[in-house]
């Protein structure tokens, strides 16, 4: 058996970034190998805010992005999709399978994850988040502090559909600044 037996001639990898971050939505990125050019798209913040969050609009949005990936990357019947195991991509995996594609759930690909993470960070910088806040891998607390500096302006960037936001964090940031 030769090494090329294990290399798929047409492969598209899909991953996401931003799911666990306090602000903005999620970036979904795709690479069609062997040409490693990233295609990325954003699920908007409003999909993570009431009532859209409760209705899981972000899952509908992820499927629309999957259709756009198909349209742009033009997979053929030999194309194999490797889709990250994250929940945000669960409907993408099912949708691709229903369309007749071969789909494999994967853990993250370091290279693709880094590319998608950079796209998410660029989005954060676009809305005014200082780059130094984004250097840490786990940035919940630093983003919470950043939102708390100007909650009336920055709350619109928060995933306000989260139960923890409604139950705890919103009140905390407004108390921190003695704002009602």
Task: In whole angstroms, give the CA distance from residue 28 to residue 21.
Answer: 14
Residue entry with tokens 């899952």: 59
* Three-state DSSP state, 37: coil
Torsion angle defined by CA atoms of residues 37, 11, 89 and 68, in that order, rounded to the nearest 10 degrees: 60
Contact 26, 91 (CB under 8 A): no
pLDDT-derived band at 10, boundaries 50, 70, 90: confident
Task: In whole angstroms, give the CA distance from residue 18 to residue 106.
Answer: 18
What are the tens digits of pLDDT across the range 55-65?
A: 999 999 999 99
Q: Cβ contacts of residue 121 below 8 Å, gap of 6+?
A: 131, 134
Delimit the domains of the chain by residue range. 7-129
CA angle 13, 159, 172 (to 5 degrees): 140
CATH 3.40.109.10 fits 7-129, yes or no: no
Strand 38-43 and strand 102-106: pairing?
Answer: unpaired
Q: From start to end of the chain, where are the E strands?
A: 11-17, 26-33, 38-43, 80-84, 102-106
Task: In whole angstroms, give the CA distance from residue 31 to residue 21.
Answer: 23
**Cα–Cα nearest to 31, from 115, 88, 108, 105:** 115
Upper half-sphere CA count for residue 113 (Cβ side, 13 Å): 11
Q: Give the predicted TM-score (pTM) of the model.
A: 0.88
Q: Between these two residues, 107 and 180, which has the higher pLDDT value?
A: 107
What are the tens digits of pLDDT across the range 72-127?
A: 999 988 889 999 988 999 999 999 999 999 999 887 677 889 999 999 999 999 99
pLDDT of residue 77: 84
């Amino acid at each position: 058996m030769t090494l090329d037996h294990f290399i798929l001639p047409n492969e598209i990898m899909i991953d996401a970034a931003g799911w666990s971050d306090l602000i903005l939505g999620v970036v979904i990125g795709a690479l069609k190998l062997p040409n490693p050019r990233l295609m990325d798209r954003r699920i908007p913040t409003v999909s993570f805010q009431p009532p859209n969050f409760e209705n899981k609009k972000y899952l509908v949005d992820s499927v629309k992005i999957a259709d756009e990936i198909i349209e742009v990357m033009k997979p053929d019947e030999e194309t194999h999709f490797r889709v990250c195991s994250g929940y945000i991509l669960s409907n993408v995996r099912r949708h691709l399978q229903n369309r007749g594609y071969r789909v494999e759930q994967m853990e993250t690909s370091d290279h693709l994850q880094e590319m998608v993470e950079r796209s998410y960070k660029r989005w954060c910088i676009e809305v005014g988040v200082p780059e130094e806040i984004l250097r840490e891998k786990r940035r919940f607390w630093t983003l919470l502090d950043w939102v708390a500096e100007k909650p009336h302006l920055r709350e619109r960037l928060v995933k306000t559909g989260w139960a923890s936001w409604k139950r705890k964090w919103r009140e905390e940031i407004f108390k921190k600044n003695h704002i009602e």
